[in-house]
Amino acid sequence: MNNLKKNRYKDQAFKALGVLFTFFGILILAILIYNILRVGFTRINWDFLTGLPSRKPEQAGIYTAIIGTLDLMLLTIIFAIPIGVGAGIYLEEYSKKSRLSSLLEINISNLAGVPSIIYGLLGLGIFVRYFNFGGSILSGSLTLSLLILPIIIVATREAIKAVPPSLKEASFALGASKWQTIRSVVLPSSFGGITTGIILSLSRAIGETAPLIVVGAMAYVPFVPHSLFDTFSVLPMQIFNWTTRPQQGFAVAASAAIIILLLITFVMNGIAVYFRNKWQKKLQ
C-alpha cells in the first residue's frame, strides 16, 4: 500500500514537471510575441504591406520582401518536395541493405545537422558561380532546397517505416506490383508523416537569412521578381537590415515585419495541418 502511494506521488511529481517544461517553451514564446506585438502591431497597415523599402522608417514597407519570400518558398517547394520524397521512397523501399546504402543513410542524417551558412557557400559555388545563375531567386531557392532536402528525406523515411507491414503484405498478396503498393498503400498511409516533415522543413527555410545573404539576396530591392533570374529580397533579410539601423523607427518596422513573417509561417503550417487532417479522415 505504502509503495503504491509512493509511486502515485512520483507519478504526480513527474506530471507536474512535464507541465512545467511544456509551458517553459510556450512562456518564452509568449513573452517574445508579446514584446513584438507591443512594439510593432500598430505599425502594420496597408501601406506597410504594399510599400517599398525606404530610408524613412515611417514610410518603409515590405511589399517586395513579402513577394520575394512567397516566390522563394514556392520555388523551394517545387524543387525540394519531389526530390526529397522520391529519395526517401527509394531509400526505404527499393535500396538493398548494402555498404553504399548505409553510407548514404549516415551522410543524409549528418547533412540535416550542417549549419545553414555552409549550404549558402555551397549554393554560391554551384548555382551562383558554376551554373552562372547569379544572385537570383533561382539560386536562392535551389540553395534552400538543398538545405531542407535531408530533413524531408529523413521524415519521409520515418513515415514510410511507420506503415504497418501487414498493409503492404496484403497489397502484395492481392498481386499488386511494388509501385502499385507504394502508390496506393504506402504513400497514402504515410502522407501525414511526410507532410509534417515538409512543414517543419519549410518553417526552417522561411526564416533563413545567412545562406541567402551568401547567395546574394539584397537588402534593398524596390521591385518584384518577374523571372527566375531576377534579384530578390526576403522578409528575414529586411528584418535583419532594419534591426541593425541606428534609428528607433526601424526597430518598430522590424517588429512589424516579424509579425508578418510569423503570420505567413502560421498560415503555411495551418494549411498543411488542414490537408493532413483531411487526408487522414479520408483514409479512415
Partner 1 sequence: MKKLVIMMSLALVIGACGNKKENENRETAALIGSISIDGSGTVFPVSEAVAEEFLKVNSQVKVTVGESGTGGGFKKFGTGVTDISAASRDIKDKESELCKENGIDYVRLTIALDGISVVVNKENTWAKTMTVEELKKLWEPNSTVKKWSDIRKEWPKEEIHLYGPNTSHGTYDFFTEVIMGESGASRTDYNAVSDYNVAVQGIEKDTYALGYFGLSYYEENKEKLGVVGIDSGKGAVLPSIETVASNEYAPLSRSLYIFVNKKSAQRPEVKSFIDFYLNNAPQLSKEVGYVPMPQSGYEEQKATFSKVSVK
Instruction: State the residues that interact with partner 1 by CB under 8 A.
Output: 52-55, 71, 74-75, 77-78, 134-135, 213, 216-223, 225-228, 230-231, 241, 243-248, 251
| Of 105 and 230, CB closest to partner 1 | 230
Q: Give the integer Cα–Cα distance in Å for 191 and 218.
A: 37
- Residue 184 beta carbon to partner 1: minimum distance, rounded to whole angstroms: 18
Q: Among candidates 270, 266, 250, 205, which has minimal Cα distance to 48?
A: 250
Q: Whose CA is closest to 160, among 191, 196, 201?
A: 191
Q: Which is nearer to partner 1, 10 or 129 (CB)?
A: 129
Measured from the Cβ of residue 283, the count of other Cβ atoms closer than 10 Å reads 10
Residue 210: Cβ-neighbour burial (10 angstroms; 0-12, 13-18, 19+): middle
Q: Which is nearer to partner 1, 52 or 118 (CB)?
A: 52
User: Is residue 66 within 8 Å of residue 265, measured between CB atoms?
Assistant: no
Q: Cα–Cα–Cα angle for 55, 59, 62, nearest 5°?
A: 85
In one letter, which amino acid is 156?
Answer: T
Neighbours of 257 (CB within 10 A): 29
Q: Which is nearer to partner 1, 135 or 236 (CB)?
A: 135
- Integer distance in angstroms from the first to the last C-alpha of the chain? 44
Nearer to partner 1, 59 or 101 (CB): 59
Least distance in angstroms from the C-beta of 141 to partner 1: 11
Nearest distance, CB of residue 10 and partner 1, angstroms: 43
> Could you tell me the smallest distance in angstroms from the CB atom of residue 139 to partner 1?
12
Q: Shortest distance, CB of residue 151 to partner 1, whole angstroms?
A: 20
**Nearest Cα residue to 91 out of 72, 106, 75, 113:** 106
Residue 233: CB minimum distance to partner 1, A:
8
- Of residues 108 and 199, the one with the C-beta less far from partner 1: 199
